Amino acid sequence: MLPGVLTSGKQQQLQLQRERAAHHEAGHALAAFARELPVVSASITTVRSGFFFTSWSVEGFVDAKDYDDTDDQLIAAAGIDAEALWTAAVCGGSFKSRRRAAVYDNPSDAGKVRDLVRLTALTVDAAYAWSYDLLVEQWGAVEAMAAALLEDGFVSGRDLARLL
């Protein structure tokens, strides 16, 4: 037996979390590009704390001059919806139930809390409608960006833009 070949339940769980994180961040990045905001980089990092989880972020656009509350809201919604679209496709369940899970799972996740603060501050439905349409229309770009994140963990904004 080769122990290295065996995949434990925890490792499978971690891989699913990494893929979910990559699609979530790709959604944020796609929305930022759609709003013509600069993306410096996106990253996903595997952190172990008690049980497996991952931490992740998209950097750059918050420093842009024209960045406003609407951008904040749309980018936040796109991350949640990309995560929900991917989870519904891969793990099953309806998109709406997966969106609810994407919003309410991992309440201790600081990045997710930031997304929610942005979303609850303004009109949520309009942001979700925009992000959903954008994601469905450009899902190929989301998959390409997520694949790049899964391979390298860190992708520059310039490299992400090439995948649009």
Contact residues for Zn ion, defined by CB under 5 A: 79, 111, 115
**CA gap 164, 35 in Å, rounded:** 13
CB of 28 to Zn ion, least distance (A): 6
CB of 24 to Zn ion, least distance (A): 5
- Check if the beta carbon of residue 135 is closer than 8 Å to that of residue 82: yes
CB of 22 to Zn ion, least distance (A): 12
**CA gap 66, 16 in Å, rounded:** 35
Nearer to Zn ion, 60 or 111 (CB): 111
Nearer to Zn ion, 11 or 113 (CB): 113
Strand order in the sheet with 41-49: 51-59, 41-49, 154-156
Nearer to Zn ion, 11 or 68 (CB): 68
CB of 2 to Zn ion, least distance (A): 37
Q: Which residue is nearest to Zn ion (CB)?
A: 79
**CA gap 85, 136 in Å, rounded:** 9
The phi and psi torsions of 38 (rounded to 5 degrees) equal -75, 135
- Check if the beta carbon of residue 148 is closer than 8 Å to that of residue 157: no
